[in-house]
Amino acid sequence: MSRVGFGYDIHRFGKGRPLILGGVRIPHSQGLVGHSDADVLIHAICDALLGAAALGDIGRHFPNTDPKYKDISSLKLLAAVERLLKKKRYRIFNIDSTVVLETPRITPFIEAMQVNIAKILSLDPQEISIKATTHEGLGAIGSGMGCAAYCIVSLIPET
């Protein structure tokens, strides 16, 4: 029996921070503000995986009140989530995600993001879908105030 999980994350832009998406540093005048590196894509993937396994959410496992997660690479959080899935004997069957932001264009960096995520999750990069879109100038994201990511995953039991 397969299990499905959905994840979502959003962070605002701020000066003096690097923009990290999918574990890739992307040239931009601002980065995302958060307790960790604020990688919305990895956070959405983590929440989707945790949800599919009925393990709660990213805040439960990596609270923003814990100083050990201050400025941590979200790739380390993803690795910890992967270990939790292994303990529950789940295997990732599918990852489909969308990053929403006006600028910068992230399409040239998607392949590197897929490689980063695949390495941690022991998947082929082609098994990870990462899409990018804008908000067409609408709302906070459309006005360039932040970035969001959505993710849906499927897990299957290890055999």
CATH of the domain at 133: 3.30.1330.50
> Is the distance from CB of 57 to CB of 50 less than 8 angstroms?
yes
Q: Model-level pTM greater than 0.95?
A: yes
Helix (H) / strand (E) containing 45: helix 40-52
| pLDDT band per the 50, 70, 90 thresholds, residue 159 | confident
140: domain range?
3-157
Instruction: Give the rounded distance of the alpha carbon of 85 from its chain centre.
Output: 16
pLDDT score for 1:
87
Q: Taking every pair of C-alpha atoms in the chain, what is the biggest distance, in angstroms?
A: 47
Q: What is the domain count for the chain? A: 1
pLDDT score for 98:
98
Mean pLDDT over residues 73-81, rounded? Answer: 98
Instruction: Give the rounded distance of the alpha carbon of 63 from its chain centre.
Output: 16
